[in-house]
A and B are shown apart, each in its own frame.
Chain A
């Protein structure tokens, strides 16, 4: 068999591996992204600043910022925004506080019935939020919590707690026993260990869970609607009212949408930079 005298320098080869860049794939994906995400958002924005946008014009002919100015001065809207923010912050902090001891138990102690408790903790995610709210609604009426901010906070925590517990128990599980033993042997008491060992190591999980809870609460609709409306108005509830099919006000709805979206997007972008995909996957169990 003759030895082929092939040029063994970097000659181009017939290969199954495509070029690193895959420009076609990249272009296609970004195009899809533009069509699916950028386009609707842009359109909504145009609606919010268009001064009358009738068919058949594809783009608005004239623009006005009057609606934005008007709306930002609307007391009700500002009140709704502040209500939403306040509720979101409170829910996030309370969820974290309530979740952590339980997550610690779930993440570090083996015990009988653990599976049962796991399933119970997951139940609020399975049972539709509406059903929970409706059940809670009656109880709240008796307790006088209906149509109150406290009521909305309480019912939202039911939704954020399962995810937070799961995220935090996953995080706590990863803290090596040896670290805690080492800290004890160096003289640290329980409080010190929590403050100086456990909390710092839990920051990724706390951050992920906190951001998830915040966004979850901020844009939560079903439960807040049942428990709070029409007295307590969060931003999503306000938006819903603008979208009543019989008296829809598209431009106003668009503006409120952006106000609703903006904090969520900012928080989300921050989260995206900090969090890992698998944590995100574990946390997002909501629609």
Chain B
């Protein structure tokens, strides 16, 4: 044991091995083999064929754009709901503690069930449809419709609690004194929010947005159950190809999806580090 004490780097290595090692073996290696596989034909020769297929076939191109669409739209909808919600939650109201627990329920509901709920409520012949029938209205097609509204609604339903959670935490982390200072310097509540709260909460908020975007862009269950068969995202196409054993094609699709996720992440890092750089502008020796 004392040997370990002395060789700190050995100690460090041993500690890191379980977690990092596990991920290297069961995540890194498969990912690498998928990457390699995406460039190979069955006989092992190098090819760009699979990637070509993705970018030339209309269905896969539409798959990519649908994936991005299913990533962006729910996030936009969630934001418009989460920001006001987190503002309302900031101050007290009757039953606030209970509400703070209840609104997080969707976090525990798996995607498939959310899909089911959308069907039950919004599908033709579903609840709202029957509710409105006596009045003579029919609900527009919201499930398996061309715009994927059902998918967007389901995605937003799951995301709103998560984003609200993150945003309220981000706002709560701002010391109250700073808001008071802004008020005493002549900023109204609104101006304080715009010039102090939002800039300071931004890092947390953008992180949440990115995670959510990537998550819903690559989600499978909800688009599969509730989405239109005419516009399937890459995730659904991947599973189709997988069932038919065309593994290399699946790898290529997976790499494209992953690449997109990484690009988004890099954009985030460059954005936030640029803000950091600006603020370091005045650094003197």
Contacts and interface: CB of A to CB of B under 8 A. Distances in A.
B219 interface: yes
A117 interface: yes
A25 B88 contact: yes
A215 B158 CA distance: 15
Interface in A124-167: 124-132, 134-139, 154-155, 157-158, 161-162, 165
A265 to B, nearest CB: 6
A22 B107 contact: no
Given A98-B19, A130-B218, A260 B157 contact: no
A36 B105 CA distance: 11
A88 interface: no
Nearest to B31: A135
A85 B150 CA distance: 30
Contacts of A186: none
A245 to B, nearest CB: 8
Contacts of B34: 131, 134-135, 138
A277 B89 CA distance: 13
B20 A121 contact: yes
Interface residues on A, range: 35 or more
A196 B67 CA distance: 49
Given A155-B26, A190-B1, A134 B169 contact: no
B141 to A, nearest CB: 14
Nearest to B158: A287
A21 B92 CA distance: 7
A130 B220 contact: yes
Interface string B56-67: 000000000000
B37 interface: yes
Given A20-B92, A127-B31, A260-B113, A287 B215 contact: yes
B175 interface: no
Contact of B238 (A102, A130, A161): A130
B117 to A, nearest CB: 4
Contact of B112 (A98, A120, A240): A240
A237 B17 CA distance: 33
B22 A280 contact: no
B159 interface: yes
A154 B169 contact: no
Contacts of A98: 18-19, 22
Chain B contact residues: helix, strand, loop or mixed: helix
A123 B214 CA distance: 12
B30 interface: yes
A137 B33 CA distance: 11
Contacts, number: 257
Contacts of B214: 126, 128
Interface residues of B, number: 95
Interface in A241-287: 243, 245, 250, 253-254, 257, 260-261, 264-265, 267-269, 272-273, 277-278, 280-281, 284-287
B61 to A, nearest CB: 18
Contacts of A8: none
Select the residue from A20, A111, A287 with max chain B CB neighbours within 10 A: A287
Contacts of B262: 126
A58 interface: yes
Given A44-B117, A158-B27, A134 B251 contact: yes
Contacts of A158: 22-23, 26-27
Contacts of B91: 22
B268 to A, nearest CB: 11
Interface string B24-62: 001111110110010000000000000000000000000
A44 B158 CA distance: 17
Nearest to B218: A128
B257 A243 contact: no
A137 to B, nearest CB: 8
Contact of A101 (B16, B105, B257): B16
7 contacts: A44-B120, A98-B18, A101-B19, A134-B34, A136-B26, A250-B120, A287-B219
Closest CB pairs A-B (n = 4)? A102-B19, A128-B218, A287-B215, A135-B30
